[in-house]
Each structure stands twice: as C-alpha cells, then as structure tokens.
C-alpha cells in the first residue's frame, strides 16, 4: 500500500509509535539553498548543459537544515535510515555511506551525492547519469518536477539492497515522489509526507500516472 500525505512530517512523526517503520529513506533540506540558485540557476531554475533550464516555483525550503528534533524522531520511529545529504548533518555512529555518481561530466553541479546510513557495511556506489536532458535510462526518461529530484532507479537500487520483504518504508520529504514510485514497483508498503501543497499534488499525480500506465500494460 502506498500512502501519501500533504502534512508536516514533524507533526506526523510525533504521533507515531517507536520503530513503526523498518526503513526510512529521506532527502531532507541540506540548507544549501537548492531551491533558489545554489549552482548559478536563477528564479527557481536549474540549468542543464544541453537544454534550456527547467523552471520550478521559487521558495525557501532549503535555506535551513532539519532540527535536532527531526533526527531524534526519525531514529525513534525507524529501525534503519538512509539520509541523503548526510555529509551536511552531524550524525553519530559509524556510517555506511552510499555514493550516487551522477556521471555529470563537465557540469557545474556536484559529481556525486552522499547518503548516510545506519547500516554497518562497506560504502557502496550507484552510478546513474542525471545530467540535464541526459539520463541513465533514456527509454524511460523521467520528467523533472522538483529541483532536487532523484531518479526512480536510484530508489529501486536502495530498496533492492537495503530493504527486505515485508518492510514498511517511510519518506518524510517526498518531493517528486520517486521513492513512492520505486516502492510501488517493488511491492513495499510506503508512507510519504510532503509539506508543500504544490509539490505534493505534482508527486501524487506522477504516482497515479505511473500506476495507470502499469494497469494499461500489465
């Protein structure tokens, strides 16, 4: 079952039971201004090398990092965590980092993104191109609807390697909904929260299009 909520995750988590989820895969704000020109893009745009920049709504959601209380609640309600942007946060323990190599070539954007995880294993690498109009799976090219969108294939890889059958998955910052689509593809129970009403509706519509396509071709 896939459940999506247009709600502040802090309000939702406060009412959750301890260890209610087996795995939380989250992509909270890094506090680097990704929503407003942290790499030379302006007016809510993200520049690609081979195509005109994509316009997104201008907002300030990435001006500050999550609070200490956010991480306390996240660790309370989940057995394990995968936290994108973990290198920006003060997280304790000996992490197994996950490295996403975006194969950016000469782009002005970061070559990789890092995720902190609670798993006690070696650092792992996922390589998938994510450079403007060029993507690692051009046959199933994804339309970008969020400035920090990550590919569905990345979340499929995470679930394949770090989740097990029967796990309940949580995403506190749904964004574009890629995590929800991956969970739907792989048959996991998933709960996602997105506080921004516009991005929530876009992610919900994206998931519904995916599910409808599956029904048509299933």
Residue ranges and CATH numbers for the domains of the chain are 2-217 (3.40.50.150)
Question: Which residues lie across from 160 on neighbouring strands?
Answer: none
- pLDDT surpasses 70 at 56: no
Distance CA(163)–CA(158), nearest Å, equals: 7
- pLDDT surpasses 50 at 47: no
Tens digit of pLDDT for each residue in 114-129?
999 999 889 999 999 9
- Vertex 56: Cα angle to 53 and 58 (nearest 5): 120
Is the model more confident about 2 or about 90?
Answer: 2
Q: Read off the pLDDT of each residue in 70-99 and give the average, rounded to a whole number.
A: 92
Q: Read off the pLDDT of each residue in 38-61 and give the average, rounded to a whole number.
A: 50
Using the CB atoms, write b or e for 157-190: b if 16+ within 10 Å. bbbeebbeeebbbbbbbbbbbbbbbbbbbeebeb
- pLDDT surpasses 90 at 187: yes
Residues ≥6 apart with Cβ < 8 Å to 42: none
The answer to whether residues 56 and 44 touch, using CB atoms and an 8 Å cutoff, is yes
Question: Which residues lie across from 135 on neighbouring strands?
Answer: 130
Is the model more confident about 56 or about 212?
Answer: 212
* Pairing status of strand 189-193 against strand 2-5: parallel
**pTM, to two decimals:** 0.87
Q: Is the dihedral of CA 210, 53, 137, 164 positive or negative?
A: negative
Q: What is the Cα gyration radius of the chain? A: 17
pLDDT band, very low/low/confident/very high, at 60 (cuts 50, 70, 90): low
């Amino acid at each position: 079952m896939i459940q999506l909520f247009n709600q502040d995750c802090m309000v939702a988590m406060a009412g959750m039971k301890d260890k209610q989820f087996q795995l939380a895969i989250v992509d909270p704000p890094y506090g680097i201004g990704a929503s407003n020109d942290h790499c030379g893009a302006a007016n809510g745009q993200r520049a690609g090398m081979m195509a005109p920049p994509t316009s997104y709504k201008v907002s300030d959601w990435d001006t500050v990092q999550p609070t200490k209380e956010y991480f306390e609640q996240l660790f309370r309600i989940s057995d394990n965590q995968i936290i994108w942007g973990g290198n920006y946060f003060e997280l304790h323990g000996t992490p197994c980092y996950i490295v996403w190599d975006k194969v950016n070539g000469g782009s002005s954007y970061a070559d990789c993104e890092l995720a902190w995880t609670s798993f006690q294993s070696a650092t792992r690498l996922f390589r998938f191109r994510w450079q403007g109009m060029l993507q690692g799976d051009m046959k199933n090219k994804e339309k970008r609807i969020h400035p920090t969108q990550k590919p569905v294939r990345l979340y499929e890889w995470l679930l394949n390697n770090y989740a097990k059958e029967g796990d309940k998955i949580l995403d506190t910052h749904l964004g574009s909904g890629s995590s929800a689509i991956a969970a739907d593809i792989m048959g996991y129970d998933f709960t996602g929260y997105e506080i921004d009403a516009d991005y929530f509706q876009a992610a919900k519509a994206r998931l519904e299009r995916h599910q409808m396509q599956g029904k048509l071709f299933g």
